[in-house]
Structure formats: structure tokens, C-alpha cells
Chain A
């Protein structure tokens, strides 16, 4: 039968993970039924899904494959004298209470606000060792693509689908296409994983990956830490791809080893042996391919109102009049008007009001170390508010043990509690209308960081350099 042929022919990492999770194959009339190994839940996209279960009298099929946290609508303001993080927004407070009730009623482990392991859902999944190679992972959050860094198939779902997974641990999915995203060469000093992904999105556009699952490969990807790979996979969705994956290797296994949910002893050896079979076979084909040269990359920055409107930090803002496509010209015109930027203008040297270091893209310990190393011995410029928001309580504790909080505080930056913070601006942390921010987050959409706020997306290094000078700064000018 055909199964024999397909199992012996070369397969991609995606093919292997996909076929390992088929409960019922795709037919001309129905999508495949895909089994979900891990379901991550947060307070914003789940209440209506739990309501569906209640209305129908359904249980959560596998609470032991589900975990919940609070991150989006939670404040990151410092704890009060009782050690509590006060929630002053009545609607947010009500939403958090609903999450608590849903988790209690349905038996789902909850990493509640203020507790030791709470944090951004895409930071704590890997941190706890829940995220492992070869798994299928979903969450009602588009940045679920982050977990693909481990060689998992991980993607964001809507709230209806959240109810499907809660009730059945399965999803109806049509098979996506695959795209190889190859990054050859080596990054130069001052250039980071964030710059790679911003360059990829600038190249393909925000819709370029629609319908695809990316597999990131090549020398530059292999050389990255897990945190760097997570930064890249995190922003797959900003290129339109629902998921991005990196083949697991020793860097992956070393990251997973010893984490609370990681396999132990003989189970570990067995797991690693299975994981070693996951990488794409020699000769396997992709539906599409894009290639980038890391040697020529510079720090990147966005100038517009979507993550595809990015350029080398020392380049000039593009001119809409030079675009032949009418709709693209209109989009760029509108973006530059919103950003109050002129065609041909340099961004280097432009004053900003806020620097935000955080989000599921760049709030892990390595991101904070990188920024702190840069800021150490320097002061934050007088004109900027600098917010440093660790991705989880454990990242916060680790950073404090290393003295990073002191470095940030002594330089004049704010050191906050863990959460999504100013990436989503629904928790009290937000830009004021007209303000400019250099942000390590993932979206520069109009109003994303606060109504009327203007976002420049960049790496933690660029953010740190900008924090110190108060103007958009190429970090290479200060390291060299």
C-alpha cells in the first residue's frame, strides 16, 4: 500500500510530526483529525471556549495535557507590601477570576498571577520542559509558533478550536504546505536572531508564508541557542506562516534535559533516540524555499505598521512614490503617515520616548543578559522610559540572582513583574498617543502598543543601545 512507499521515501521534519499525529487521515470531504499533545491556555482566548463546554455538559478530555497561565491582561507593576500584584482594572480582574474558576472546575493546572512559575505562556512551556521535540502544541495565541524551535509542530488556534481541543484533544486540519527557510553563513557581532527573522519577513512580506509551515535551516540557525531559535520561530506568524520549525539537535536536548517535565533516566535515552529520527531526511522536498545570507545581515529595524516593513538599521525609509504597485504604495503612504516619518529619512539618531525589552519574542534570560551587558556601567538617557519585563517569574528570579535587575535599575530602567506587558497594551502598560518606542516585541501594527503609539521593532541589543543614547542607535557603533 501507499503507506509503505511514503514511509521509505525521504520526509521533512514537518511530514514526520504531522503523520505521527494523524488520528484520522484527510479525505476529499474532511480535513485530517490531528492529535494534540499539549494545549496551552491563557485568560484572553479561553473563556468563551469553556462556556461552550459548560453549555454542552462536556469535560476537558485531557487536563493532564493542558496547562493554563495568565499573561495578557495581567499587570506587571511591582508587588505591594503583602507581596501581591494588584489588579486595578475591573474587567481584567473579572477575566482572571473566570480563568481561575475554569481551571478549578475542569481540573487544569494553573500558573496563577503572582505564583512562582507564572509567566508568558510561550516562555513557561519550554521553561517547564513541557515543550519537547516531535510534539503537537497549540494555544489560542498566534505566537504558539515559538515552540517550533524544539522541532515541535506548534501553531495558534481560534477560540472555537480551543473548545475542540479541550473537549476532544483533537483538531480538524488541512495539511499545510512546507517552505524551507535557509539561513547560510554566520552572524557578525551585534547581529542577532531577531535581526534574522526581521530580515526574513522584510524579504517575503507579512503574507509571504500564508498556507505554509516553515522549516528554518542552515548554518546560522544551527549556531543559535534555543532562545534565539525561539525568537525566530515566534515571529513565523508575522510572515504569515502558522508554524515554524527547527530540527532538534544537541542544543535542543541540552536545553530540555533536567527540566521538571523532561523525561528522566531510561525514558530520557529513549526519547532522545526517537528525537534523533525527526530531522528532515536527505533528499526530502519542500513546496517552496527562501534563502538568506547571515554574513551580509545588519541589525534590522521596522519603519512601518507591519513587521514586513523592516530594513537595515542604517538604511533610509523607503519612498512610496518608487513603488509601482498601487496597493503597496497606498499601504506605505498610510504607514508613514501614521508613523510621522518622511520618505528617505534615516532612522538612526531619531529620538524615542520608550524602550520596551520583553514579550514572548525577547524576554528570556539570554535576552536580558544581552541587554544588561550592554547597559552595565551606562545610564538610560533622560528622554526615555525604559521598561524591562521578564518573560516569567523564573526568568525574573534567575535575572535577579545574576544581578541583572540591579544593572537595569541603577541605569534608570524599570524592572517589572512577568507578563505580556506593552507588547499587547491591554494590561496598563502602553504607549501614549504619538509616542515612539523601540520594542523587542513582535508587532508594530497601528495602536498595538497603545492607541496612537508608534513602534519600531528591533533586537534587544538595538533596544539597549537606544535606551542608553535616547535615539535609535546601531549597537555595533557602541560595541566596536
Chain B
């Protein structure tokens, strides 16, 4: 666990726009939180938690309220996954980030304010403190053994657990989509 308890961490902090000139999704991990993580000469800022030796290898990021606000860039979860994260914990997530994260195997875990505060304290005081996350029964288990339930969109959970691909699911609805299109002809054509 690594604490980054700032409120409203926006996707421009997670991955600044100048890194968005790529045409694939790999290799963004090094640029994750770039402006908070590095000085202008490229040297790491020692005070930033992700640079501290005790937090290396952390898979769970404890963010502040409203994590992932701002731009729709899916580069944000790509960068977080690239930096080794499997879950982010907050009291709530911005809508677009939440959906993007779930499509990339990065679990956005919503907990109550008290648990959130407890996790911030725990991860700050003891860098080796561990939590375990169980998506199957939607629980986050704290070091003291307390298990906290968290909500997950049922379909996203199903897809993650069973390796179901959402595009494949939609593509399977082809005949239903055809019916809709026949009943609702387009008013606007872009290729006129």
C-alpha cells in the first residue's frame, strides 16, 4: 500500500498530456505522476511516496476523495497499471476514470470515510502493512483482520472474474442492434 491522500487527484497528474502523443498503451508506467515524482532535471523527488524504497512494489494506491477527476484519457489507468498498481482505494471515483480502470484490470475500491482514514494512517505509519482484496466476495481485508465490503458494478466484476471481454459481449448483440437501427434510421450522416 502506498498513501497519496490528496483530494481530487486529476488525470493530468496521473499522466500529463505531453505523454499522450503515443499510439499504443505500453510504457506509460514511468510517466505515472511524472510532475509530482520528478524534478525538472529528471531526478526523482525523494519526498514523493512512489520514490521511497519502502513503498517499492506496492500494488494498492490509497488516494484522496474523488480520485481520477478530469480528462477521459484511458492513459491514466494504463499508466497506473504500468507502474504496478492493481487497485486504487478512495471514498469515491470520478465516473469516467472508474469505468476506464475496470476495463484495464485496475480495481477502483470505494470505502467509507473511516476505513479510508484508517488505510491512510496504516500505510503512512507502516509501509509494510498489507491489505488483501477479494473481488469474488468484494471484500478488502485490513491487517487487523477486519473485512470491509466494497461495491463493484456487477457486469464489470463478472467480466474481470471470467475474462469476458465487453467488446465481444456487445458484438454478440449484432441482431438486436440491427433491429434497433431498422426501427431508428439515422437523421444525421457524417459522410454526406
Contact = CB atoms under 8 A, between A and B. Distances in A.
Contacts of B69: 206-207, 240, 306
Which residue among B6, B99, B155, B190 has the maximum number of chain A CB atoms within 10 Å of its CB?
B190
Interface string B162-192: 0000110111011011001100101111111
A293 interface: no
Interface stretch (B41-49, B71-79, B131-139): B71-79
Which residue among A156, A163, A327 has the maximum number of chain B CB atoms within 10 Å of its CB?
A327
Size bin of chain B's contact surface:
35 or more
A160 B18 contact: no
A438 interface: no
Interface in A129-176: 129-130, 132, 135, 140-142, 144, 156-161, 163-164, 167-170, 172, 174, 176
B73 to A, nearest CB: 7
A260 B192 contact: yes
Contacts of A447: 12-13, 16, 35
B65 interface: yes
Nearest to A35: B180
A24 B169 CA distance: 12
A65 B7 contact: no
A327 B116 CA distance: 12
A168 B173 contact: yes
A161 B99 contact: yes
A207 B173 contact: no
Given A210-B95, A426-B20, A446-B35, A334 B6 contact: yes
Size bin of chain A's contact surface:
35 or more
B170 A167 contact: yes
A66 interface: yes
Contact of A158 (B93, B103, B189): B103
Interface of B is mostly: loop
Given A172-B166, A207-B66, A263-B187, A33 B74 contact: no
Interface in B10-25: 10, 12-13, 16-18, 20-25
5 contacts: A58-B171, A144-B72, A240-B94, A327-B65, A443-B71
Interface of A: 20, 23-24, 28-31, 33, 35, 37-38, 44-45, 47-48, 51-52, 56, 58, 61-67, 72-73, 89, 91-92, 94-95, 98, 107-109, 129-130, 132, 135, 140-142, 144, 156-161, 163-164, 167-170, 172, 174, 176, 206-207, 210-211, 237, 240, 242, 260-261, 263, 267, 271, 306, 308, 327-328, 330-331, 334, 424-426, 433, 443, 445-448, 451-452
Interface of B: 5-8, 10, 12-13, 16-18, 20-25, 35, 40, 64-66, 69-74, 92-96, 99-100, 103-104, 153-155, 158, 166-167, 169-171, 173-174, 176-177, 180-181, 184, 186-192
